[in-house]
Amino acid sequence: MAENIRTDEATGTQTVGHEWDGIEELNTPLPRWWLWTFYATVFWSIVYVILYPAWPLVNSATAGVLGWSSRGDVEQQLAAREAELAPIHEALVAADINSLVANAELRNTAIQGGQSAYKVHCVQCHGADAAGLGGYPNLNDDDWLWGGDLEAIEYTLIHGIRNPDHPETRFSQMPAFGADGLLNDAEIGDVASYVRLLSGEEQASAASQRGATLFANNCAVCHGGDGKGNRELGAPNLTDAISLYGTDREALTETIYYSRNGVMPRWGQRLDPATIRMLAVYVHSLGGGEVAPAAAEDQAPDAAETASAVPPDDGKAGDASS
């Protein structure tokens, strides 16, 4: 091929020696800046391969002499973030839970931290909107089986409900009236009628009359003579509009026949105290949180009248997209 190389007259440049249908290509050298850029990138890639993890091996990759890795980077950032949050977490744990909400900074931290912890640990049962569903309590409402003030919520979180092998867990047991043969089917139907009368879903009838007697003998010990429940025992209030398992006849019959024993894990052994505290404050803030009896007495009587400062919007004060 070399013999075809000739110098083009018009430009004084050599051709590459190929010819296609009379068209030849000039052997114009690459621009120098281009070449240097190319060499620089080659050099850069070599340096990069030496410094950073780059070369894939069978099960891993070369480590790179800098010892940097993206995973290590993330771990470092996480550690740094944790160190940054440590003081406020300590303050959270050190504070008295009832007075903690008075401190706007602690309160906001707790609600935000609690919200993210909730999304990791609690959504599976209580749902993304904390509204629960059939047997998993709605955390937004104002009905609480075991108490809805901050202390009670925190206790529930730490010790769980009906947690096996844990002496301090919240525990109650409703007898399975049907399965254990304590009541017969007709009697269960009568009790159901009475309970539905209590919650205003049925009119008084002969069945509910019979049910009232059965209720007084079998159920009042936990649910109270008036059916208003007992938080010490986790016995639900049967007279209000909220029912964990439903108040239609079928659900009610099933409850009385087999009893219900919902279980909640004991988070005290899995989460650190600060996270639990944050969860408690978050759940309390969802709208149904109650004030502890002792704390309520402390509160100034005109607290409601005082204008209250609202927290700024997450530091994004000028958010145009709100």
Partner 1 sequence: MPVPDDTLEPPLQLYAARKDVFPKAVNGFFRRLKWQIMAATLAIYYITPWIRWDRGPYAPDQAVLVDLANRRFYMFGLEIWPHEFYYVAGMLVMAGIGLFLVTSAVGRAWCGYACPQTVWTDLFQHVERWVDGDRNAQFRLKDSPWNGTKIRKRLTKWGIWLFISFWTGGAWIMYFADAPTLTVDFWQGEAHYIAYATVGILTAITFIFGGFMREQVCIYMCPWPRIQTAMMDEKSLMVTYKDWRGEKRGSVKKALKNPGEFGDCIDCNQCVAVCPTGIDIREGPQIGCITCALCIDACDTVMEQTGRPRGLIDYITEEDAEREQKGEKARASWKMLLRPRTMAYFTVWASIGVAMLFAVGNRSRLDLSVQQDRSPAYVQLANGDVRNSFTVKLRNMENRPRDVVVSVSGLPGASIWSESVPRRDGQTSITATVPADSVGKLNLFVVAPREGGADEAFTITATGADAEAGDSGATDSDTFTFKRPER
**Residues in region 256-295 near partner 1 by CB under 8 A:** 285, 287-288, 291
Tell the smallest beta-carbon distance from residue 252 to partner 1 (Å): 17
The reply to whether 16 sits near partner 1 by the rule CB under 8 A is no
**Residues in region 120-179 near partner 1 by CB under 8 A:** 128-131, 138, 140-143
Tell the smallest beta-carbon distance from residue 278 to partner 1 (Å): 15
**Residues in region 297-316 near partner 1 by CB under 8 A:** 303-304, 307-314, 316
Cα-Cα-Cα-Cα dihedral of 195, 198, 199, 204, to 10°?
A: 90
Of 80, 104, 103, 106, the C-alpha closest to 92 is 106
Give me the phi and psi of 202, to 5 degrees please: -140, 150
The vertex-89 CA angle with 69 and 306, nearest 5°, equals 135
Tell the smallest beta-carbon distance from residue 113 to partner 1 (Å): 16
Residue tagged 């290590």 (tokens): 72
Tell the smallest beta-carbon distance from residue 240 to partner 1 (Å): 4
| Residue 119 to residue 128: CA distance in whole angstroms | 7
Question: What region, left, alpha or beta, does residue 110 occupy, with left being phi > 0 and alpha being psi -120 to 50 degrees?
Answer: alpha
Give me the phi and psi of 7, to 5 degrees please: -100, 130
| Binding-residue total with partner 1 (CB under 8 A) | 39
Residue whose CB is less far from partner 1, 163 or 247: 247
- Do 99 and 106 contact (CB within 8 A), yes or no? no
Residue whose CB is less far from partner 1, 228 or 260: 228
Residue whose CB is less far from partner 1, 146 or 267: 146
Q: Is 6 exposed, middle or buried (0-12, 13-18, 19+ CB in 10 A)?
A: exposed
Question: What region, left, alpha or beta, does residue 58 occupy, with left being phi > 0 and alpha being psi -120 to 50 degrees?
Answer: alpha
| Residue 280 to residue 115: CA distance in whole angstroms | 10
| Residue 59 to residue 160: CA distance in whole angstroms | 43
Tell the smallest beta-carbon distance from residue 211 to partner 1 (Å): 22
- Do 177 and 183 contact (CB within 8 A), yes or no? yes
Tell the smallest beta-carbon distance from residue 284 to partner 1 (Å): 9
Q: Which of 12, 56, 167, 293 touches partner 1 by CB under 8 A?
A: 12
Please list the residues that pair with 230 across neighbouring strands.
235
Amino acid at 213: T
Tell the smallest beta-carbon distance from residue 314 to partner 1 (Å): 7
Site string for partner 1, 223-262 (x = CB under 8 A): --------------x--xxx--------------------
Q: Which stretch binds partner 1 (CB under 8 A): 6-14, 78-86, 202-210, 253-261?
A: 6-14
Cα 181 to Cα 118, 187, 256, 315: the distances in Å are 41, 11, 11, 62
Q: Which stretch binds partner 1 (CB under 8 A): 9-17, 47-55, 167-175, 188-196?
A: 9-17
Site string for partner 1, 70-109 (x = CB under 8 A): ----------------------------------------
Tell the smallest beta-carbon distance from residue 28 to partner 1 (Å): 12
Residue whose CB is less far from partner 1, 109 or 237: 237
Which residues make up the interface to partner 1 (CB under 8 A)?
Answer: 6-7, 9-12, 128-131, 138, 140-143, 237, 240-242, 285, 287-288, 291, 303-304, 307-314, 316-320, 322
